[in-house]
Structure 1
Amino acid sequence: MFSLSLQVKLILSFVLVIFIPVVLFSWYTLNEESAKTMKELMKNNENVLEVEKINIENNIELMGWTAQLALSNREMNKYLQIQQTQDAAYVLHIKKVVVNSFQYFLYNNPRIANVRLFTDNLHVNEIWPVILQESRIQDKSWHDGVMRNSGMPWWEIQGDVGLTGLPSEPSSDEPFMTYLQEYKFPDNATHNGILEISMTVSNFFSRTFSAVQDTNSQLIIVARDGQLFSLKDSPVFGQHGAEELMNSVKLTSNADRQTVRFKVNGQSYLALQSYIPSIDVHLVNMVSLADTMKDINHSRVRYIVLISLLAAFLVLLSYSMQAMILRRLKALRESMQQVRSGNFNVELPAINGTDEVGELGYHYRRLILKINELIQEQAARQAAGKEAELRALKNQIDSHFLYNTLENVKALAEIEEQYLISDIMTSLGSMMRYSMEWNRDHVMLSDEIQQVENYVSIMNIRYDGRLDLRLSIAPECLKQESLKMSLQPTVENAIKHGMRRMHSSDGKLLLTISAAMRDQACVIEITDSGCGIPEEKVGLLNRMLRMEESAYQHARQSFVRKDNQDSNGIGLRNVDQRLVMSYGVEYGIRIESAEGSYTRVIMTLPYRVMGGGADIYD
């Protein structure tokens, strides 16, 4: 990328910023449209499945109602239950009065094809086509199933319901859905016969065999024995038959709707199935996705063509516009090349305009003029610089002069046997050397402790020895890395406030400094035995440590007015900010206090050991 020209980079960035999002948006939109199309397709075919199920439920109800009507006819039941052979007159009476009226009443619905009562009562004479002997159907495959069902309805799809030996028996090439039910004598224990109600499958499954069909979907009926019933000339079966397609569908006995998508020889299909337990039949809506996928592919091609044309147009437009913009930049580049070779008297290009390029040309011209001015000033500045160096050498104060002076005062004090003054000079000299020799920001904790000891020694002169410093430093913390001059401001703050509100009987202030390891951190605690701080003020002080500057200044003024003090934790805030900048927000200081008892400042540092001039991080 760095070797490409700016114009090429701009075009590539244009493509990345505009073209790629357009492609991604188009891809997302196309997928959404495809998903929407598939969702609508599934919804429509689910509706077809539900409509057919409603038709089936209506036909089940119709045939069940017809069965109840047939078995509730008293004259018919009386005739089927006779215990002796009747004369011809009685049989003709049954034929004329009972069977004809029975037949007329039951056949008022044209969807019912047959209503037949098969009886094993040998005293009953057959009255075609309603009353027949059960021996005519005992060889049927479904007979044993009806008998095992003990009076409950049994549904069977039969290819032919005709019976041999009957006159004028209607023949049909169309299968029938038959309702079969055993009926018994009044004792409800003795078998009397079997009721059969038939309806053609085209009437029972009206949506499946409807002449008006969607060319992309077709319902398939799967019987108990696995036999398939459907419109064989449906366009869905144009390339693959129903049997071949059903081999890819695993039937389930779940009454909920199941959906499966599969391919056969590259052709996509969608199968929606539903099991109807009442008639033990699977209803499958087989949907061909050929037209749908073709439409989706056409949409995809249209999107690709449109995006390609748009990309080509945008690239040409971008190239033309950038060529006009970069023409002025090329003039600037040629001028800069001459300046680089050392020619500061180059003729500056006339680049006009108020845009960024025009502004760049204006500042470039000012830059060349400024460079020429600086070249002229540099010669005079070099002479003045030599003179300034000599003055600086003469006026420089050597810090060693101060150390030597303190050492001389210490020696004189010892000669005069003023040992207190000698000790003060020793502590003061150590403090000055420690604070003035600032070679690095981090020191060992032991160095900070030594500085505090020197400071307390000097402060004890002021307070007549009333300061009692006690140390409890764990050995592993002696070489702990610490920020230089982080402990002394904290101790100074403790002495200042602790001595101001002294409450001990002996007038002494006990200062305790402890350091220990806690969870991969070094925790340093500085505790004084002063009067402590009220709880609400402790909370305010802790919040002030991390406040924004404006909020801190406001809180500081409020704190000074309420407490009537000239100090408000500035030193502690500075130390906390240094610790946060050096180690992170999880480290720093925190204040604890019990009014009338103590005040404790807790400083938390990451455990880092210094040794040999290099840091060792644990």
Structure 2
Amino acid sequence: MSGRVRSQMKSLLRRHIWQWLTDTADQLGGCSLQVKLIVAYIGVILIPVVVFSLYTFHQLYENTMHDITVQNQYVLDTELAQIHSNMEIMERTAQLAISDRNVLHYLTEEREISSDELVQFNLNVFPNLQHLLYSNPNIENIRLYTNNPQAHEIWPMIFNESRLPKTSWLTTAQHQQGRIWWDIYKGPKSLLQGQAGQENEAVQYMALLREIQASGGRHAGLVETNMRLELFSPRVFGTPPRDYAWQMFILNAEDSIPNGGKLVSSADIATASIQPDPIPIPLSHVHHLLQSRVQGQGGAFDFTYGNKPYLGLYRYIEGLDAYLLNIVALDGPLSDLRHKRNAMLLIICILILLMSVISYTLHALILKQLHTLRESMKRVQQEGDFQLTIPVYGGGEVAELALYFRSLLSRINVLIAEAVQKQAAAQEAELQGLKHQIDSHFLYNTLENLKMMAEMERQYPLSDALTSLGSMMRYNLQWSRPCVALRDEIRHIQHYVAIMNIRHDNQIGLDIRLSSMFMELEMLKMSLQPIVENAIKHGWSTLRRPFLITIEAYSKQDIVELRIQDNGVGISEERKNAIMAGLMHSDMDSYEPGMHGGIGLYNVHRRLSMQYGVGYGIKLDSIPGQSTTVTLVLPRRHITRGEDYDDQAVDCG
């Protein structure tokens, strides 16, 4: 459930960030170019600088935390080694004290000891116990407690067990069956002085207690070795330095500890008065940290208390079943780091602000001509003043743009003048067209009268020739559309061949091999007549045999090839190449028909290329003495036909 909530929160945060970026972009869209440049300038500099600064300070934070952790781990490990060393000394001393057979015999012998045996014990055995005490300066006391009423007390090491205080831990320690029991308690320096009722200074000790067993496992007493707490763990129980920023605790691993459940720290059991703790954390919270954050034999964790950061490091103390905990205040080191970070960010912001002001001023100077150009464009748009002169000064892209705009205005003025001239010419052409239309109607009527006279005189061939001539005139004179259907072009060619056969005694044949699917193919008007005319003029004029022109069409995907083939004299390879080179010539004015071939083929090829694009036009093939084939490469487009006005096709659309 918590993962789903976090996912929803992240999604909501992303939507808010995106919405803010969108709103900011919309607001910047209405600002001037100068403001946009400043914002872009600030963004380009500020974002990398901030990201780099955050990364740098993050690394600095990590390095600082690592140094603090390593330094305090060394202090903690040093203290742990000191505690283990003192525990080993106390264990070895207690073991040596009760391993002497004479000492054990003295404590457990249930008979009255004679004066001679007591003297011998004092002279030969007891000095060994004293040597153990004096050879270990950190050991405060070695005390042997016995419940044997026959044993005599020998100060300051052998005492009757009744002198032990009646505490809860005493019963536990007496039934450990030879195992070691560690405890912290507060007691007098000398049991005898306390017993005598004299004033005795109370001292806090770390004590090792071990049961003394007689033969048969019977309880015979206790051995105690103790050490002052400030010697046992100087950093926990000793007087800390004045400039320390840490505090150590020894905390029992369980809820209850030897000292009646009371947490042990330097603040509780230091013998001398010390300065206030640098770690103002109550012991109950420290105990809570032990239960919730401590895992394993050792480690580290960070936490906050009272809005202040802290670092906790801990080590497990074997034997005591307790943890050595060191809490380090991070407010000082991290506060210095935060001050440095804030100072650096402040310096960055001031520098960016200063650079923004400088950049804004420089942009105002750089964009001055751009503002002038903008005002000039606005004046042209609002007032239509194309005679405006734009000043061009300096260099660079803005000056070049102003120069181009001035050239554009000059070109517009030229185009306006040309448009006026073309409009006047169009009006003149329209008048001439009306005049020609009147003349064409006169010619049509005259041809009709001649046709009627020929039919009345029964001159039917002449009547048919006049009909073909009239159709051709209508087709040529009524040029209102650039595109016609192939059917119309074929009909026009048929009329043309019919007229030519009157002159050449029906020696010219026309074979149309086109299916109905090609008849509605889009064609440029007057594309076939120049080709057929060239075939008759150049391919048949010197022949004595009948002349045949064949028209076929082939479809290849979106392309149609219309082939016009004759059985004439053909052309040589050299002349064919010259004609094809002429067809590829782009300049009509410099084209010389006498050198390359008829201008009719060139006009048809150029019209097809201009109408349909590169790749469309005329291809030429020939077999000398046999045939010549002209192929028109056309797009596969079908024309939409409307009403037919005297064989005139409508526009191809």
Structure 1 residue 60 displacement after superposition: 1.5
Whether the 8 Å contact between 1:236 and 1:287 is mirrored in structure 2 is: no
> Is residue 2:54 matched to residue 1:30?
no
Task: Show the counterpart of 1:227.
Answer: 263
Aligned mates of 2:153, 2:133 — CA distance in 1? 19
State the match for 1:599 in structure 2: none
Q: Which residue of 2 aligns with 1:203?
A: 231
> Are 1:288 and 2:329 matched, yes or no?
yes
Shift of 1:217: 0.6
Q: Which amino acid aligns with 1:85?
A: E
Correspondence for 1:278 among 314, 319, 323: 319
User: Bigger radius of gyration, 1 or 2?
Assistant: 2
Q: List aligned pairs for 1:468-479, cutoff 5 A.
A: none
8 Å CA contact 1:218–1:236 kept in 2: the answer is no
Q: 1:95-125, CA deviations, whole angstroms, 9 ceiling, x for partnerless residues?
A: 2221122211342121001111112223322
- CA pair 430-316 structure 1, distance change in 2 beyond 3 A: same
C-alpha change, 1:98 and 1:335, in structure 2 (3 Å) is: same
Equivalent residue of 1:294, what SS? helix
Alignment partner, residue 98 of structure 1: 125
- Return the alpha-carbon distance in structure 1 between the equivalents of residues 239 and 393 of structure 2: 81
Unaligned stretches of 5+ residues in structure 1: 406-424, 437-484, 487-618
Q: Measure the CA separation in 1 of the matches of 2:73 and 2:490.
A: 98
CA distance in 2, matches of 1:95, 1:384: 149
CA deviations on 1:47-73 (whole Å, 9 max, x unpaired) are 322221111111111112212222222
**SS of aligned partner of 1:207:** helix
- Change in CA separation of 1:380 and 1:151 when aligned onto 2, cut-off 3 Å: farther
1:359 and 1:100 map into 2 onto residues whose CA distance is 112
* Structure 1 residue aligned with 2:75: 48
Task: Give the direction of change, closer, same or farther, for the CA distance of 1:402–1:178 in structure 2 (3 Å limit).
Answer: farther
Q: Which residue of 1 aligns with 2:339?
A: 298
Q: Which amino acid aligns with 2:225?
A: I
Cα distance change, pair 391–4 in 1 and its aligned pair in 2 (3 A): farther
Structure 1 equivalent of residue 207 of structure 2: 178
Q: Deviations over 1:119-170 (max 9, x none)?
A: 2223322212122222322723322222332211111011226536656999
Tell me, yes or no, if structure 1 residue 318 matches structure 2 residue 345. Answer: no
1:240 is matched with which residue: 270, 276, 280? 280
Deviation at 1:211, TM superposition (A): 4.4
- Kindly indicate whether the alpha-carbon contact (under 8 Å) linking 1:156 and 1:177 is maintained by their aligned counterparts in 2: yes
Q: Secondary structure at the match of 1:107?
A: helix
1:313-354 CA-partner distances (Å, limit 9, x unpaired): 11111112101101121222222233323222212212221x
Q: After superposition, what is the alpha-carbon deviation per residue over 1:551-610, rounded to whole angstroms, capped at 9, x for unaligned?
A: xxxxxxxxxxxxxxxxxxxxxxxxxxxxxxxxxxxxxxxxxxxxxxxxxxxxxxxxxxxx
* CA–CA distance in structure 1, aligned partners of residues 371 and 412 of structure 2: 22
Judge conservation of contact 2:208–2:225 (CA < 8 Å) in 1: yes
Residue 298 of structure 2 corresponds to: 257
Is the Cα–Cα contact under 8 Å of residues 185 and 206 in structure 2 kept in the other structure? yes
Shift in CA distance, 169/287, structure 1 to aligned 2, threshold 3 Å: farther
> CA contact under 8 A between 1:269 and 1:288: conserved in structure 2?
yes
Residue aligning to 1:76: 103
Please give the alpha-carbon distance, in whole angstroms, between the structure 1 residues aligned to 2:251 and 2:113: 46
What residue in structure 1 maps to residue 394 of structure 2? 352
Whether the aligned pair in 2 keeps the contact of 1:216 and 1:235 (CA below 8 Å) is no
Q: Is the 8 A contact 1:248 1:262 kept in 2?
A: no
Cα distance in 1 for partners of 2:276, 2:300 equals 17
How many Å separate the matches in 2 of 1:80 and 1:156? 23
**Equivalent position amino acid for 2:336 in 1:** D
- How far apart in 2 are the matches of 1:296 and 1:391? 94
Could you list the per-position Cα deviations for residues 488-541 of structure 1 after superposition, in whole angstroms to 9, with x for gaps in the alignment?
xxxxxxxxxxxxxxxxxxxxxxxxxxxxxxxxxxxxxxxxxxxxxxxxxxxxxx
Q: Which amino acid aligns with 1:176?
A: Y
- Point out the more displaced range, 150-159 or 31-40: 31-40
CA separation in 2, counterparts of 1:5 and 1:22? 26
1:108 to 120, 132, 135: 135
CA distance in 1 between counterparts of 2:124 and 2:394 reads 116
**Separation in 2 of the partners of 1:183 and 1:114?**
17
Query: Could you tell me how far 1:301 is from its partner in structure 2?
Result: 2.8
Query: Which residue of the other structure, out of 169, 180, 188, is the alignment partner of 1:142?
Result: 169
Cα distance in 1 for partners of 2:274, 2:346 equals: 36
SS of 1:77's equivalent in the other structure is helix
The alpha-carbon deviation at position 24 of structure 1 amounts to 3.2
Q: Does 1:307 align with 2:335?
A: no
In the TM superposition, 1:453-492 aligns within 5 A as none
Give the aligned residue type for 1:342: G
SS state of the match for residue 144, structure 1? helix
Amino acid at match of 1:24: V
2:532 aligns to what? Answer: none
Unaligned runs of 5+ in 2: 1-27, 434-475, 493-512, 523-556, 559-653
1:448 corresponds in structure 2 to none
Could you say if the C-alpha distance between residues 395 and 229 of structure 1 is closer, same or farther in structure 2, counting changes exceeding 3 Å? closer
Q: Answer whether contact 2:246 2:279 (CA < 8 A) is retained.
A: no
1:547 matched residue in structure 2:
none
Letter in 1 for 2:227: M
Cα distance change, pair 399–196 in 1 and its aligned pair in 2 (3 A): farther
Report if the CA contact (8 A) 2:263-2:283 is conserved: no
With 138-147 and 379-388 compared, the bigger mean Cα shift is at 379-388
Q: Secondary structure at the match of 2:236?
A: coil
Specify whether residues 65 and 247 from structure 1 end up closer, same or farther in structure 2 by C-alpha distance, changes over 3 A only.
Answer: closer
Counterpart amino acid of 1:397?
Answer: V
**C-alpha spacing 1:391/1:62, structure 2 compared with 1 (3 Å):** farther
Cα distance between partner residues in 1 of 2:128 and 2:356: 88
Aligned partner of residue 175 in structure 1, secondary structure: strand
Deviation at 1:91, TM superposition (A): 0.9
> Is 2:393–2:399's contact at 8 Å kept on the other side of the alignment?
yes
Q: Deviation at 1:372?
A: 3.0
The residue number in structure 2 matching 1:154 is 181
The CA deviation string for residues 468-490 of structure 1, in whole angstroms up to 9 with x for no partner, is xxxxxxxxxxxxxxxxx79xxxx
* Amino acid paired to 2:331: A
Q: Distance in 2 between matches of 1:95 and 1:323?
A: 107
Q: Take 1:69 and 1:44, find their aligned partners in 2: how far apart are those partners? A: 38
C-alpha distance in structure 1 between counterparts of 2:125 and 2:490, whole Å: 140
Cα 1:136–1:379 shift into 2, 3 Å: same
Shift of 1:391: 9.2
Describe the superposition over 1:175-223 as per-residue Cα deviations: whole angstroms up to 9, x where unpaired. 1111111122354x22222111101111111222444535211112235
Amino acid at match of 2:220: N
Cα pair 2:238 2:266 within 8 Å, conserved = no
Q: 1:313 to 1:248 in 2, by over 3 A?
A: farther
CA displacement 1:212-259 (0-9 Å, x = unmatched): 535211112235123323046666625836536536534367443354
Q: TM-score if structure 1 supplies the norm length?
A: 0.59
User: Please, which of 455, 475, 483 is the counterpart of residue 396 of structure 1?
Assistant: 483
* 2-structure distance, mates of 1:48, 1:132: 39
Q: 1:55 to 1:124 in 2, by over 3 A?
A: same
Q: Could you state the TM-score of these two structures normalised by the residue count of structure 2?
A: 0.56
Per the alignment, do residues 138 and 26 of structure 1 end up closer, same or farther by CA in structure 2, a change over 3 Å counting?
Answer: closer
Mapped to 1, the partners of 2:53 and 2:477 lie a distance apart of 74
Q: Shift of the alpha carbon at 1:38?
A: 3.0
For residue 644 of structure 2, what is the aligned residue in structure 1? Answer: none
Change (3 A) 1:173 1:28: farther
RMSD: 3.9
1:214-613 to structure 2, matched below 5 A, reads 214-222=243-251, 224=257, 225-231=261-267, 237=277, 240=280, 242-243=282-283, 246=286, 249-251=289-291, 254-257=295-298, 259-340=300-381, 341-353=383-395, 355-379=396-420, 393=480, 396-398=483-485
Question: Which one-letter code corresponds to 2:400 in the other structure?
Answer: E
CA contact (8 A) 2:249 2:324 kept: yes
Greater shift in the superposed pair: 20-29 or 340-349: 20-29
